[in-house]
Copies of this chain bind each other. A is one copy, B any other.
């Protein structure tokens, strides 16, 4: 049985969980708070980050959300999430990297730092300017997803792909942390409502972090 080391609003763990959910791969959750830098966890993953997946029976340890996703793409045929032509797959990987790098740098990373880690680990209040910057960043990124969805049915092309799952993972964490203003982003909101109602997504929306709760619209599929 796979074990997945994660915390409820880790965007990279959510990306992996959505892929595992679509593919029907079973796993057990292990709660890990990477900001505590627990020795046994850092020994396992020197980068000190979630997600990590472990199959103790077979001695397999998988680290890094993209390496994990590529592993399950290679080993599980069901629900291919990096699909289409080679150029189409490159576009899916480009957008996946966009959310994991740019959106994380501008939005999810600062929100997690200000609203979660400062609260839980340092017990200080968030910096209002950093929060405003992150929310402004989110507006820019959602302008881009609106633009993509004006031209395509899904973010990466004609079918649902890893680009959508990764984007939804990050956006759901930003939404949990109150960083998304949905006004003026009707295309992205419609696409996100569709993803929220998928069986792979629902369990994630039901989970809560200690001390930090989401706004009331967060888990409503028809917000």
Q: A67-B97, A144-B46 are in contact. Are A90 and B102 (CB under 8 A)?
A: no
Q: Is the CB–CB distance between B46 and A70 below 8 Å?
A: no
- Is B87's CB under 8 angstroms from A60's CB? yes
Interface: A124 (CB within 8 A): no
- Closest Cβ of chain B to A126, distance in Å, is 23
A91: which B residues are within 8 A, CB to CB?
A: 67
Q: Is A134 an interface residue (CB 8 A)?
A: no
Residue contact A94 to B64, C-beta cutoff 8 Å? yes
Query: How many residues does chain A have at the interface if contact means C-beta atoms less than 8 Å apart?
Result: 25
- Interface check A79, CB cutoff 8 A: no
CB within 8 Å of B: which A54-93 residues: 60, 62-64, 66-68, 70-71, 74-75, 86-87, 89-91, 93
CB under 8 Å from chain B, chain A span 21-55: 46-47
Q: What's the dominant secondary structure at chain A's contact region? A: helix
Give the shortest distance, in Å, between A56 (CB) and chain B (any CB): 13
Q: Are the CB atoms of B46 and A71 closer together than 8 Å?
A: no
Q: Is A191 located at the chain interface by the 8 A CB criterion?
A: no
Q: Are B93 and A67 in contact (CB under 8 A)?
A: yes
Residue in B closest to A72 when the chains form the complex, CB atoms: B86
Q: Does A154 interact with chain B (Cβ within 8 Å)?
A: no
Q: Which residue of B lies closest to A55 (CB)?
A: B87
Contact of A192 with B by CB under 8 A:
no
A70 & B98 in contact (Cβ 8 Å cutoff): no
Closest to A92 in B: B67
Closest to A59 in B: B87
Q: Which residues of B contact A102 (CB under 8 A)?
A: 47
B residues in contact with A87, CB < 8 Å? 60, 62, 71
Establish whether residues A89 and B70, one from each chain, have CB atoms under 8 Å apart when the complex forms: yes
> Which chain A residues (99-119) contact chain B, with CB distance < 8 Å?
101-102
Closest to A147 in B: B46
CB distance from A24 to the nearest CB of B (A): 18
A-B contact pairs, 28 of them (CB 8 A): A46-B144, A47-B98, A47-B101, A47-B102, A60-B87, A62-B87, A62-B90, A62-B94, A63-B90, A64-B93, A64-B94, A64-B97, A66-B66, A66-B93, A66-B97, A67-B90, A67-B93, A67-B94, A67-B97, A70-B90, A70-B93, A71-B86, A71-B87, A71-B89, A71-B90, A74-B86, A74-B89, A75-B86
